[in-house]
Amino acid sequence: MATNRPELARRRLGGTDVSVTAVGLGCAPIAGLFTPVDPAVAAATVAAAWDGGIRHFDTAPHYGAGRSEERLGSALAGRPREEFTLSTKMGRVLVDHDGPWDLWAEPNGKASAFDFSFEGAYEAHRGSLDRLGLDRVDVGLVHDADDHLDEAAAGTYAALAELRSEGRIGAIGIGMNSTGAAAELLSRGDFDVALVAGRYTLLDQSALDGLYPLCRSRGVSVIAAGVFNSGILADPKPGATFNYTAADAALVEKALAIAAVCARHDVPLRAAALQFPLAHPAVASILVGARTPAEVDDALAMFAHPIPEALWHDLKRTGLLPEEAPTP
């Protein structure tokens, strides 16, 4: 079990009373992302996160067409509600679907469809509460609005702002994968949090120049997801994935070079990849996806692994990290 480690610090999101632990659990994998997950293993994965001190759990209707929310809600049932923070997303609703799925290995007769309307956001919110078995979620995020900024600003954001003003959601934000579109949407509203995947990692610091300074200036807290860039920073080798596609040779070479520097300091690459994003003052927490208890325990062990300052110095000295990137 994930025990005998330092307690995970909690940080508030924006100016709200909602807080998250320094490490959160991303719950897409327990919905059968790419390969099926036994429901008992999914429940055990959430339990391992809880035992390790994680108190932030992130999900979405899109993940397994509701299956992630169902499994997460079941796994959290009976846990003290005031102790954990739950984030889910709006911008998609569930529709009947009998065909194959691209990402999810456990079809359930449903699929998610984009709907950034005001009414669609409320429909998504009600559906999430039903599947989670809860009377509230703590954080609501506009989901994957990269190509739908106008609709999302007029519809989903307006609904989230209303839910927040009524006290039915504690913090609102965006959940996106691109920096430019994320910055544009953040500039159109009063947001508390930005969950951004894969754009501030040991391989990709594209959030460093524009998005993160904007978040700092607007008081928006960042949750950094995708810290392994979908796999290459966990196990760099030919054939590894970078943001869910095959990594090109140059990226694999750079990841291997970073791993070599880590090895010289007796530090696993996974430890450096997990700890690097949280050093930026805009980042409140990192989000780690896991499908088994062993993956949770490994992530927590890597997050607590000692890293000498000299490692970060060597990464910058060799040009593998920009000089201006904050480091632990």
Distance of CA 202 to the CA centre of its chain: 16
3-state DSSP assignment of residue 286: strand
- Residue linked to tokens 């062993």: 294
CB 71 within 8 A of CB 43: yes
Catalytically active residues, by annotation: 58, 63, 89
Distance, CA of 289 to CA of 159 (rounded, Å): 28
Domain boundaries defined on the chain: 20-317
Contacts of 131 (CB under 8 A, 6+ apart): 61, 66, 69, 70, 73
CB 169 within 8 A of CB 163: yes
Question: What pLDDT is attached to residue 100?
Answer: 74
Nearest one of 157, 160, 171, 178 to 220, comparing CA atoms: 171
pLDDT tens, position by position, for the chain (328 residues)?
444 556 899 999 999 999 999 999 999 999 999 899 999 999 999 999 999 999 999 999 999 999 999 999 999 999 999 999 999 999 999 999 987 777 899 999 999 999 999 999 999 999 999 999 999 999 999 999 999 999 999 999 999 999 999 999 999 999 999 999 999 999 999 999 999 999 999 999 999 999 999 999 999 999 999 999 989 999 999 999 888 889 999 999 999 999 999 999 999 999 999 999 999 999 999 999 999 999 999 999 999 999 999 999 999 999 999 999 999 9
pTM of the full structure: 0.96
Question: What pLDDT is attached to residue 3?
Answer: 46
- Residue linked to tokens 């970078």: 242
Distance, CA of 129 to CA of 168 (rounded, Å): 11
Distance, CA of 80 to CA of 298 (rounded, Å): 25
DSSP secondary structure letters along 34-90: SS---HHHHHHHHHHHHHTT--EEE--TTTTTTHHHHHHHHHHTTS-GGG-EEEEEE
Question: What pLDDT is attached to residue 181?
Answer: 97
Question: What pLDDT is attached to residue 87?
Answer: 98
* Residue 200 per-residue DSSP state: S
> Right CATH number for 20-317 from 3.90.1150.140, 3.40.50.300, 3.40.50.150, 3.20.20.100?
3.20.20.100
3-state DSSP assignment of residue 57: strand
Distance, CA of 9 to CA of 304 (rounded, Å): 12
Contacts of 222 (CB under 8 A, 6+ apart): 193, 194, 195, 196, 200, 207, 212, 215, 280, 282, 283, 284
3-state DSSP assignment of residue 311: helix
